[in-house]
Amino acid sequence: MTAPTQRALDTAQRWLDAEPDRDISEELAELIERRDPSLDERFAGRLQFGTAGLRAAVGAGSMRMNRLVVRQAAAGLARHLLATDGRAAERGVVVGRDSRRKSDLFAADTARVLAAAGIRVHLFDQVVPTPVLAWSITGLDAAAGVMVTASHNPPADNGYKVYLDSGAQIVPPHDEWISTAIGEIDPFDVLLASEDDPLITHLGTDLVEAYLDSVPAVRLRPDVAPVTVAYTAMHGVGGEVLVAAFERSGLGPPAVVEEQFEPDGTFPTVPFPNPEEPGAMDLVMALAERVGARLAIANDPDADRVGAAIPTRDGGWRRLGGDEIGWLLADHILRHTDGDDRLVVTTLVSSSMLASIAADHGVHSVETFTGFKWIAHTVAAHPSQRFVFGYEQALGYLVTDRPLDKDGITAAVLLAEVAALAEAEGTDLEGRLEALAERYGRHLMVERSVRMDPADGSAAVARLRAVPPESVAGVSVVSVEEYPEASLLRLVLDGGIRVQVRPSGTEPKVKIYGEGVGVDPTGAVEAVIDLLG
């Protein structure tokens, strides 16, 4: 194996001298001692804001998540806020965290860096769901928010989401401006205030309670009697808040998967804590069957997403796709609201059925880039229209206008109402989906991913964009649409199938999305995978 460059060794030694955590210091010292070639990659640059902020494995190096990286990011954010908001110091920044490795230290360091820059900090003392953090930003009229979380990433990871004062995640050019400011900061020379600095206000549970008080308003048919729901927090931070949200919304407490209820950043029962992953919802589906539930739901670890499973008429259970949940929520919301000023929003890679449902109800529908931050951006860009629903197929849903970010708790409450109303009307969620297919066509969705190094994945998609195929799986390509802002290529095939491909913004993979109305897109998706090489 090739030894690391001298530049990497020199940088690693400087990093080691400044590293505040013993476990990271020991890891780095060992890498330096054995001249580990991974040092080149670990110090190849610095983490950049992706689809959802910074994310990487916790470890030594500027390309990993550690306290030096977090301090540099916080200092860059402080510099940006002070330069662009004349009241930033007074308005402050809200800081929250999940239960992953070092989340408490990352949040505390963020608060200390911001306070050292003269910025007021509202620091949650306890773990909180991401939606509570985002909701609190506007409640406090803060200049920004920071959530320390890696969401549904593997257990080894952690991350850093930054929010605007609207409660929405950062979009260009804000992410570029903040990234530039971060790049101007020396990670070895970041000022820290004391932990008891008077600029740091420790938040108790008041804002959590205020958020919970707001949740019942998302219900559109509060008169409907609840049905039994099974729930798992998937070792994340949403459990207590979701149970309280159900009770305050008149839905009663769900049956919970006890072994996955308490926050645990090691995720002992799910190696990949994502409700989309095969097997991740097995425990909650088993519980749902035992208790006779009509719906099984799962939050991801920071509770901004919600997955669901339903009983089938052959006696089994199946997980719903993200689009299916979106169709159910959209249909329910548009049937129980009114006004031709209503707006629904989804993303490029989500199903086209939402546009058909919107047209049927005479409301506005917009398709935007991948990543929920773009849904929020679209809402803000249409002030004359009344936003009522937004979703992305990756289990992200927004059923209210605050916060302007996906919320797996309020979405779960409304989905439970959908199940309850179906029961009251003599059907179930499977019946609801059948009715939608009969009305709007049977939309068949197929999603695949290919694990690739981020650079290789981006290059593969770029090659396909440069020379798109004339046919896929023997079917002519009738239209090629490029969305360079999203690094996405859409191929529309003769017969109505569409296939889309893009590199992931948060994971080392390329994602491929297929949709066919009345026709299976699987063959076309697999053919595009072959084209990626």
Phi/psi at 203 (5° precision)? -90, 135
- Measured CA to CA, the distance from residue 233 to residue 301 in angstroms comes to 7
Q: Which residues contact 101 (CB under 8 A, 6 or more apart)?
A: 58, 155, 156, 158, 265
Q: Which among 364, 331, 371 is positioned nearest to 348, based on CA atoms?
A: 371
Which amino acid type is present at position 318? R
Task: Provide the CA 289 distance to its chain's centre, in angstroms.
Answer: 28
Question: What angle (nearest 5°) sits at the alpha carbon of residue 259, between those of residues 254 and 262?
Answer: 80
151 is catalytic: yes
Closest CA to 295 of 255, 248, 336, 235: 255
* CB 252 within 8 Å of CB 231: no
> Strand, coil or helix: what is 261?
coil
> How far apart, in whole angstroms, are the C-alpha atoms of residue 229 and residue 292?
9
Q: What secondary structure, in 3-state letters, does 461-530 show?
A: HHHHHHCCCCEECCEEEEEEEEEHHHCEEEEEECCCCEEEEEECCCCCEEEEEEEEECCCCHHHHHHHHH
Q: Contact 3/37 with Cβ under 8 angstroms?
A: yes
Rounded to whole angstroms, the Cα distance separating 484 from 474 reads 27
- Which tokens in the block code for residue 478? 């009738």
Q: How far is CA 402 from CA 74, 236, 330, in A?
A: 25, 22, 17
Q: What is the dihedral of CA 272, 274, 279, 283, to 10 degrees?
A: 110
Using omega within 30 degrees of 0 as the cis cutoff, is the peptide bond preceding 403 cis? yes
Query: CB neighbours of 43 closer than 8 A, spacing ≥ 6?
Result: 7, 8, 11, 12, 15, 61, 62, 63
What residues form DSSP beta bridges with 152? none
CA distance 146 to 137: 10
In whole angstroms, give the CA distance from residue 324 to residue 316. 18
Judge whether 81 and 90 are in contact, CB under 8 Å.
no
Q: Catalytic one among 62, 99, 136, 151?
A: 151
Q: How many other C-beta atoms can be found within 10 angstroms of the C-beta atom of residue 465? A: 17
**Contact criterion met (CB below 8 Å) for 65 and 47:** yes
Q: Could you give the residue numbers annotated as active site?
A: 151
